[in-house]
Structure formats: C-alpha cells, structure tokens
Amino acid sequence: MNGSPETVWNECLAFIRDNISRQSYRTWFEPLQAVALEEEEGVVRLTVQLPSRFYYEWLEEHYFALLRKTITKVLGPNGRLFYDIVIERDEAEVHGPAGGAGAPRGGASMQLPARQPANQPPAPGTPPPQVDGLPRSNETRDGRTAPGRPAAPEPPGSPGAAPAGASPFVIPGIRKPDIAPNLNEAYTFERFIEGDCNRLARSASWAIAQQPGQTAFNPFLVYGGVGLGKTHLIQAIGNYARANGRAESVRYVSSERFTSEFVQAIQNNRIAEFSAVYRSIDLLIVDDVQFFGGKEKTQEEFFHIFNALHQDGKQIVLSADRPPRDIAGIEERLLSRFSWGLAADVQLPELETRIAILRRQAEESGTRVRPEVLEYIATHVKSNIRELEGALIRLQAHAALVGREIDLEMAREVLRDLIKEARPSLTVEEIQRVVCDYLKIPEDLVRARTRKREVVQARQIAMWFAKELTAHSLKTIGLHFGGRDHSTVIHGIQSVNDQLDTDPTFRETIEAIRKRLDLNTR
C-alpha cells in the first residue's frame, strides 16, 4: 500500500471538502486525524481517530454514504474505514491504536462499509450501539465508574433519574457556594420538537446534556433569529443535566443579567466573590451573548471565567442572535473562543415542524384543536415559534370567551389581522436598511457613488433582495440606488448569484439577512 495514513486521508478530505458545506467540513472532518493504514489479505484499512462517540454517531447518521463513496474512490473497492474513538483518561488523551474486530488494544473500531443501508443509525437520545472497546457513559474522564450515572443515556424526563448526590470530590468543611440555577423548568427536551431547522443544535445539546464538559462541543454556541428556540434548548441542557445528576452546579444567565451582576459586584466591592462563584460552576449557560457587545470590562471578566471553566473541563453553553463572526463589539480573543467548540444554528421551522409544535402545545393545554385548524395556523404564521404559539393562545382565549369549539372559520376570523399583516411587501429602502445594518455599513452609502468593496457588496446584495422580494422592475430598483441604470442592477444581481454558487459562507450571510427581512415583514 502506497502512502502514509495522512496522505491517504488528505486525499479523502479533499474529496469530502468538495461535497459538503464549509461549516460542516470544518465541524465534522477537520478535527479528524488518520492514525493507521494497513493492508491484509487484499483489504486496505484506513483508521481515523474521532474526538468522541458523538462524532461517530453523527458521521454514521449523516455522512455514511459520502464516506463510503470517498473510501471507494481513494482506496478502491477493497478499502475499509475504521474509527478509533478517543477515550479521555486522566486528562491526557489515550487513544487505543487502530484495530479491527478483536484488536486487543482497546481502540474502538467500526468497519464502515459493513453497515447495511437498512440498518438505521441511532436517533439522538437512544443508547448508542455497543461497540467493542467503547467507553460507556458511566465511565468518567478518569476512567472510574461514576455513581448515579446510568450506563446509557435515559430518555428525557424518564423517572428514576438520580438527583445530584454528594460529590466525592468536595473536601469536607469547604462548602461549594450555592449556585442558583435560574432555570425555567418548562424548557425540557421532551417539549422541544425536533425538525430539520434545529437538528444539529438539538443533537449536540442532547449529547452535551449527557456529558457536560466531556464532548468536543465546548463551548457550544446556538445561534439564530428571535423566537426560534435558543433559550428553550440551552435551558433544556441545564434542566436535564441537573435532573439527571450530570452536573452538580448549573447556572443559566442572560448576558444582560451577567453584566448587571458584575456591575453590582464592582459597586459592592465583591468582585472576588463574583468571580469565585462563576468559576465554581460545572455547566454555565449564557444567553444572548451579542449583548456583551461594547461592554469591555464585562467581557474581560467573562473571558477569565471562560478560560478557568474551560481549562477545568467545565461545560460552557452560549446563545447569540447571529453567527459569532457577525457579532459586533466583542473582543477578538473572546470571539475566537466562542468558535472553539461547536456553533450550530436554529432556523425557521418548516411547515411540518410548525404543525408538530402547535399540536404539542394544544395537547398540553388540554384543548382539542382540529388538524385543519393547526394546519391553517402553521401555514400562515411562519415568522417564528413564539408568534406561532401566540396565535394559538389567542384563538384558545377567544374560544373560551365565546364558549365555542375552535373551528376553521373562527381561526380565519380571529387571526385575520395577524395573518394579513404577515406579508406586507417590503420597500427597497427597508431592504437597504436591513442589509446595511447587518453588514454594518452606513445606509446612505449604498445610494452614493462610493466604490469601496464592502459598500459595493452591500449594494449588490440589497439589489438582489430587491429583485427577489419586491415587484419593482430593474429600472425602478436602479433608481432607488442613487439613480443607477438597469445594467448595473443586472450586474449586481449576477455577481451575487455567482458568489452564492461558490461560497458557502456568503450563502450563510444571505440566509441570515433573509431571516432579518422576514422578521421585518410583520
């Protein structure tokens, strides 16, 4: 067999990179390393090391076909891919060297092409398949068995979950400070409906809730627009970890609350205490970190707390209303840390997910709502989940008031204004404002003569949205941009289309702006 494991794997990576988005590539493939390449009886085995079992589950579920194709392409029909899953012991990474079935050295391996397509991968939340040599989740970092931890993850909310017991690591006489968890108990995984819009974020959250601080996702950042479930999801991690004894001290705070606690600590001369309390947390959840923007002192304090927790293997979970690179007014060193682990987005839910959310909500409130009514609401209210829930609550209130059962006619009548308001057309100026606001460019520049690169790009993006979201002709659109002619508009739209075809980061930016515009059309 020619080549080292690295060169062969690099060939595989080149192929994989061309077939998936940059974000997925960076999250799932960049951290992997090839550790062995062996040939035996005509079968070539490439072993790659995975940082955790969650990677194994995720790759099997989402990239099985791609990996198989890649291996066949690079190694030929007799190529096989093996996984070697890292088991952390004593803080140092001990990797069992690659081995196939029956390998004596403890490295966990799976022969990938052997999986039958009919063999469904495990859904997040179900116990992973037993793989020889794999650590079960009742092994702690140092390889000992932790009391009170079930061998396999329990389904959310299952009874009999062990409460956090007395920690064997707390020295008697030295009391850990009491940490108020500050969690809303209604935000659980059980109540969180999974859809394509939130699958990665939900699966990663679930993995983290099982083993806070022990997955590759530290910190874990969930980002996305308002009302899409960020707060719900990150609190679900806290609620689950607490209820199942996975973390002894959990605290949820909004970044604003963190800031005001910090300011108070300064005023009362209690910084040391503030800092000590936060550093003693096992699972720290900070919501809406974009509000740290511009608050330098708070950021500095948070930076040090972050470092201390991260070094201790404590879990940090964050949320933001946009991807880390777009958050303004946050120091580079902190921003870069936000991207150390995993950043996963939540998107607007698709119709089926919206219906499922409404059905769950109706069930919980104990009212019977006909399927066609749920579908009617879900079809017309699509801006975000909070609005969706609001629409149903309004309808239920009305039904109670008039003492009638909810039907389609009532839904039409009661929600008429809400739904009519749902899609007024945008003006070109609104589009310019939202685009410039997002890209942090003074709005009047898109109508001015300047040819600075960022301005030209913002202008072209705004033109592109104007074409897509308004009924104006190219000529009229040009007039809104400082009287440019229609060929300039065509050129602008074309260059946005070109970049959309080639640049996944750019696509993400466009999608983020589109969500902003969606919110504006209400």
Rule CB under 5 A: which residues touch Mg ion?
Answer: 230-231
For residues 110-123, one letter each, b for 16 or more C-beta atoms within 10 angstroms of the residue's C-beta and e for the rest, the string is bebeeeeeeeebee
Distance between CA atoms of 410 and 122, rounded to whole angstroms? 42
State in angstroms the smallest separation of the CB of 347 from ligand ADP. Answer: 11
State in angstroms the smallest separation of the CB of 388 from ligand ADP. Answer: 7
- Measured from the CB atom, the residue of 96 and 229 that comes closer to ligand ADP is 229
Number of Cβ atoms within 10 Å of the Cβ of 141: 16
Query: Residues 74 to 133: which contact ligand ADP by CB under 6 A?
Result: none
Nearest to 320 by CA among 303, 300, 335, 304: 335
Number of Cβ atoms within 10 Å of the Cβ of 86: 20
Angle between helices 385-402 and 371-380 (to 10 degrees): 130
Distance between CA atoms of 104 and 398, rounded to whole angstroms? 68
- Measured from the CB atom, the residue of 291 and 306 that comes closer to Mg ion is 291
Asked if 484 interacts with ligand ADP (CB under 6 A), we say no
Structure tokens given for 212? 């806070």
Span near ligand ADP by CB under 6 A; candidates 108-116, 124-132, 227-235, 252-260: 227-235
- Measured from the CB atom, the residue of 226 and 410 that comes closer to Mg ion is 226
Span near ligand ADP by CB under 6 A; candidates 111-119, 226-234, 460-468, 479-487: 226-234
345, 319 Cβ separation under 8 angstroms: no
Q: Which of 331, 389, 443, 508 binds ligand ADP (CB under 6 A)?
A: 389
- Measured from the CB atom, the residue of 230 and 337 that comes closer to Mg ion is 230
Backbone phi and psi for residue 66, each to the nearest 5 degrees, phi listed first? -60, -45
State in angstroms the smallest separation of the CB of 227 from ligand ADP. Answer: 5
Span near ligand ADP by CB under 6 A; candidates 50-58, 132-140, 382-390, 468-476: 382-390
For residues 407-416, one letter each, b for 16 or more C-beta atoms within 10 angstroms of the residue's C-beta and e for the rest, the string is eeebbeebbe
State in angstroms the smallest separation of the CB of 117 from ligand ADP. Answer: 29
Nearest to 144 by CA among 201, 90, 224: 90
State in angstroms the smallest separation of the CB of 386 from Mg ion. Answer: 9
Span near ligand ADP by CB under 6 A; candidates 142-150, 260-268, 384-392, 431-439: 384-392
Nearest to 315 by CA among 231, 387, 221, 223: 221
Asked if 509 interacts with ligand ADP (CB under 6 A), we say no
Nearest to 376 by CA among 326, 325, 410: 410
- Residue 459, binding choice from Mg ion, ligand ADP, none, Cβ under 5 to 8 Å by partner class: none
State in angstroms the smallest separation of the CB of 321 from Mg ion. Answer: 8
- Measured from the CB atom, the residue of 384 and 488 that comes closer to Mg ion is 384
Nearest to 365 by CA among 389, 384, 386: 389
- Measured from the CB atom, the residue of 231 and 255 that comes closer to Mg ion is 231
Asked if 399 interacts with ligand ADP (CB under 6 A), we say no
DSSP alpha helices (H): ranges in 403-503? 408-414, 416-420, 428-439, 453-469, 474-480, 486-502
Span near ligand ADP by CB under 6 A; candidates 185-193, 254-262, 296-304, 363-371: 185-193
- Measured from the CB atom, the residue of 209 and 395 that comes closer to Mg ion is 209
Query: Residues 338 to 357: which contact ligand ADP by CB under 6 A?
Result: 357
- Residue 124, binding choice from ligand ADP, Mg ion, none, Cβ under 5 to 8 Å by partner class: none
Asked if 386 interacts with ligand ADP (CB under 6 A), we say yes
Asked if 203 interacts with ligand ADP (CB under 6 A), we say no
Number of Cβ atoms within 10 Å of the Cβ of 487: 10
110, 131 Cβ separation under 8 angstroms: yes
- As beta bridge partners, residue 342 has 220
Asked if 295 interacts with ligand ADP (CB under 6 A), we say no
State in angstroms the smallest separation of the CB of 194 from Mg ion. Answer: 18
Distance between CA atoms of 264 and 20, rounded to whole angstroms? 47
- Measured from the CB atom, the residue of 232 and 380 that comes closer to Mg ion is 232
Asked if 198 interacts with ligand ADP (CB under 6 A), we say yes
- Measured from the CB atom, the residue of 325 and 386 that comes closer to ligand ADP is 386
Distance between CA atoms of 376 and 407, rounded to whole angstroms? 10
Cα 244 from chain centroid (whole Å): 22
State in angstroms the smallest separation of the CB of 293 from ligand ADP. Answer: 17
Distance between CA atoms of 14 and 71, rounded to whole angstroms? 12
State in angstroms the smallest separation of the CB of 400 from ligand ADP. Answer: 20
Read off the amino acid at residue 147.
Answer: P
Asked if 156 interacts with ligand ADP (CB under 6 A), we say no
State in angstroms the smallest separation of the CB of 511 from Mg ion. Answer: 20
Angle between helices 53-62 and 64-75 (to 10 degrees): 90
Please give the size of the binding site for ligand ADP, defined by CB under 6 A. Answer: 15
Contact residues for ligand ADP (CB under 6 A)? 191-193, 198, 226-232, 357, 385-386, 389
